């Protein structure tokens, strides 16, 4: 994978669930982190990749990067804001 310019603190794979559980699992993983830490989310194309980044932004967190794995999945990188 390319050099991201930041260090990932935790990873979560939500490819085995559907919306809205994708967001719930992502939010739970973010809750475990401290402010400023980075979460990598392995996520499916379609509704999840459309809804999770939007919902995360609405929660006040920062979407750093979204990488298309070109296999129907993406890597979403989120910085936790606030605690």
Q: Which of 47, 35, 39, 38 is nearest to 72 (CA)?
A: 47
Q: Is 7 a catalytic residue?
A: no
State phi, psi for 34 to the nearest 5 degrees.
-90, 160
Place of tokens 């992502």: 26
- The active-site residue out of 19, 24, 63, 67 is 19
Total Cβ atoms within 10 A of residue 66? 15
Task: Give catalytic residues, as residue numbers.
Answer: 19
């Amino acid at each position: 994978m390319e050099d991201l310019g930041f260090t990932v603190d935790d990873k979560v794979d939500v490819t085995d669930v559907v919306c809205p559980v994708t967001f719930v699992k992502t939010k739970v993983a973010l809750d475990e982190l401290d402010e400023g830490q980075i979460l990598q989310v392995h996520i499916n194309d379609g509704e999840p990749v459309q809804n999770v980044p939007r919902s995360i932004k609405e929660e006040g967190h920062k979407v750093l990067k979204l990488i298309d794995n070109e296999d129907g999945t993406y890597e979403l990188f989120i910085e936790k804001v606030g605690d």
